[in-house]
Amino acid sequence: MEEWWRSAVIYQVYPRSYQDSTGNGIGDLAGITHRLDHIANLGVDCIWLSPIFASPQADMGYDVSDYLSVDPLFGDLAAFDKLITGAHAHGLKVIVDQVLSHTSEQHAWFKQSRRSRQNDRADWYVWADPQPDGSPPTNWHSHFGGPAWEFDPQRGQYYLHNFLASQPDLNFHNPDVVDAILDTCKFWLDRGLDGFRLDTVNYYFHDEKLRSNPPAQAAPQVMATDLYGMQNNIYNKTRPENLNFLERLRALTDQYEDIMMVGEVGEMGRRSIEIMGEYTQGTDRLHMAYSFAMLGPDFNAEHFRNCIEGFQEGAPDGHPYWSFSNHDVPRHVSRWGGYSVSEDAMARLACAMLMSFEGTIGIYQGEELGQTETELVFEELTDPPAIRYWPAVKGRDGCRTPMVWDANAANAGFSDSVPWLPVKPPQTANAVKQQPDDGIMAFYKSMIAFRKNSSVLSHGSTRFIALAEPLLAFTRTQGAEHITCVFNLSKDKHTISLIGAANIICGSSASIDSSILTLDGNGFAYLTHSDMAVI
């Protein structure tokens, strides 16, 4: 029997912003349980929850202070159990973000580790002496600005943090740390969780020799604030020891039925696709991996083809996970706005593209509404990098604003109180209750159903067709059945000559006349035909 995740559509919920059930302006687990009908009615297979663990919320839950408890902001273990039970009753699996590479400085492990150089957990984090001139041990940068090292006067040493200084990195070279982390994962699997989304999965290990990174091999096309991108980050992440840990984690999950792990590869460009392949090779590592490859500004046929073919070549026995938006990047309807005829057209085109890709598909809450990025002013920000580098960096708050349910209700139905991030009119206009019968939400439902009911789209292989930009085309094949998918990634009309007869079984702004396929701006077509070649 095929594993459920291989053809799944996974729906990401950002708990702070989904539904507030207590009136404190922050979403919670009970709120998600209340909205399970909406999620199930989309036709998706699984919910991915961003972190819900105890945390001081310096990085919105990605700074865990207790892996074994739910943060009171979101509820408690009873609320978690109720959500799991409710989701399963709706036929939905549930996976949760596991942030294993680092903890909060408020975690009991770190509090003990920093007390002295001689205690039971002294080596549970990455500590190192200053260089003779007092400078940090290496030249590594933090993603959130400045050195990746923070000096701690109590120990007289630096500790490593790839993100905020309040997020110290665990020392995975210590086997006791690995055992403790695996125990925390087992705790949630025993409560009925269906798997994990592993945050920054290639960051677990660091170079034990603490070698400094070389400069980036090519001049990075980054802003001056992105010092991280100015290095070739070969010693502070994606170390070979990572694979051994993934194999141990897979051995744990294999003790349970129907568990799935998807890893977030924190890397950009071609290298990210290579790591995805390496981390999913065989049957003893991750079930799936995804990267930021499709979460950036690139919107052209060559880019999407390179991502998919790169994975096919790098991991012929692996399984990819593709998505266009999440809680860390601007929403794709806005991000790719320069290529769109309208927000509506881009929302439909992006949905059709995703549902045609080989692999598992991820969508982010609000994506099914055609949601756009929220424009915020400085006083409304909560995201640490944005606050530090405003206005050069807009940050991640714009994609994290609350879900909109009813334009006629206070705060669009998200909360009776002032929300933690504002609900603004452009987003409220897309609310669930105001979605027309032929709107974006209806389109998502129909495309998800179309994909799930098609063995070709769910399981077929992919062969790309060489067309000039801005046209992306490929044929999905399952047995004797073929579907060719053609997408116009521009605002301009384009025509394609067809070979033989073909019919449009699904499309938008597309037509066939005398073997000529015409695609208006952002148009697309799924074609059925009898032969392998149609273009």
pLDDT at site 190 = 97
pLDDT reported for residue 324: 98
**Residue 219 has what pLDDT?**
52
Q: Catalytic residue among 169, 199, 328, 383, which?
A: 199
If you write DSSP's letter for every residue of 243-303 in order, what string do you get?
Answer: HHHHHHHHHHHTTSSS-EEEEEE---HHHHHHHHHHHHSTTSS-SEEEESTTSSS--SHHH
- The pLDDT of residue 38 is 98
Integer-rounded Cα Rg, in Å, for the chain is 23
Structure tokens at 237: 């992440």
How is the chain split among helix, strand and coil, in percent rounded to 5? 30, 20, 50
Cβ distance 491 to 520 under 8 Å? no
Q: Is 61 left (phi over 0), alpha (psi -120 to 50) or beta?
A: left
What per-residue confidence (pLDDT) applies to 1? 67
How far apart are alpha carbons 173 and 209 in whole angstroms?
Answer: 12
Please name the amino acid found at residue 402: P
The pLDDT, as a whole number, for residue 218 is: 64
Residues shown for the chain: 535
Q: How far is CA 309 from CA 109, 302, 465, 526, 531, in A?
A: 43, 10, 12, 20, 22
pLDDT in tens, 445-488: 999 999 999 999 999 999 999 999 999 999 999 999 999 999 99
The pLDDT of residue 220 is 47
Low-confidence ranges of the chain (pLDDT < 70): 1, 218-225
C-alpha dihedral (431, 432, 433, 435), degrees to nearest 10 = 80
Say which of 20, 169, 264, 274 is annotated catalytic: 264
264 catalytic? Reply is: yes
Buried b (16+ CB within 10 A) or exposed e, 220-250: beeeeebbbbebebebbbbbeebbebbeebb
Confirm whether 199 is a catalytic residue: yes
Q: C-alpha angle with apex 354: 7 to 253, nearest 5 degrees?
A: 35
d(CA 111, CA 20): 32
Q: Which residue has the tokens 């499709």?
A: 294
Distance (Å, whole) CA 63 – CA 61: 5
| Beta-strand relationship, 461-464 and 288-291 | unpaired
pLDDT of res. 217: 79
pLDDT at 417: 97
